[in-house]
Amino acid sequence: MSILAKKETIIRLVGMVILFLSIIFSLIYDFFILDTVLLKFYILLIEIPWLILIILLKLEKDFFVENALKLAAIIGIFSTIMIILGTCFNLDEISSILFVILSIESILISLCWHFTLSIYKKEKLFFLLSGLISIILLLITVFLSINISPFWVFVIFPLIFIIIGLSLVLLVENKMKKENLLNYI
């Protein structure tokens, strides 16, 4: 990217920071929305490993970059087991559905954040799809949690931040593409 795209690059970084804030808000609202301590514990066991892996990948440490797919597969299997255990030990059907949705959404938004600044077409597509699916899952969460939790309003914060972060990045990258300042590989 050239010096001509300095402002756009800063806006992309701001979009990335906003998406990271949506991850933080997601971690917080999970504790308010989920009604049992066990589900809160399982959601942490799902979210924290993904967040740690993605932060380590962002730091570009050789071991983690070279073994990213293996580590993601291990964490994916572990997350699947935690989701199954969380739903098996919960008797309330709505809470179980909410737990599964929140688990998937938190993983997707973390992956969306990871691929935010990528210039590779496949990764940019994954960024877009994971962000859009996260938005849909958060909308479902709002509707499910309205009746079971007085804290459903907390879901709106990560939803707003995801929408703003995605919009900033996509609008700026579209402008950069039109001006030939950014080409996907």
User: What is the band of 77 on the pLDDT scale with cuts at 50, 70, 90?
Assistant: very high
- What pTM value is reported for the model? 0.88
Say how many C-beta atoms besides its own lie within 10 A of residue 185's C-beta: 9
* Alpha helices, H only, 34-155: 37-58, 62-66, 68-88, 93-114, 121-145
Residues in the chain: 185
Residue 167 to residue 54: CA distance in whole angstroms: 22
pLDDT at 4: 64
Residues 124, 16, 102, 50, CA torsion sign: positive
pLDDT digits (tens, 9 = 90+) for 97-135: 889 999 999 999 999 999 998 888 899 999 999 999 999
Range of 30-39, 53-62, 64-73 with top mean pLDDT: 64-73
Residue 71 to residue 84: CA distance in whole angstroms: 20
pLDDT digits (tens, 9 = 90+) for 126-160: 999 999 999 999 999 888 887 777 777 777 888 89
Q: Which of 120, 131, 129, 133 is nearest to 173 (CA)?
A: 120
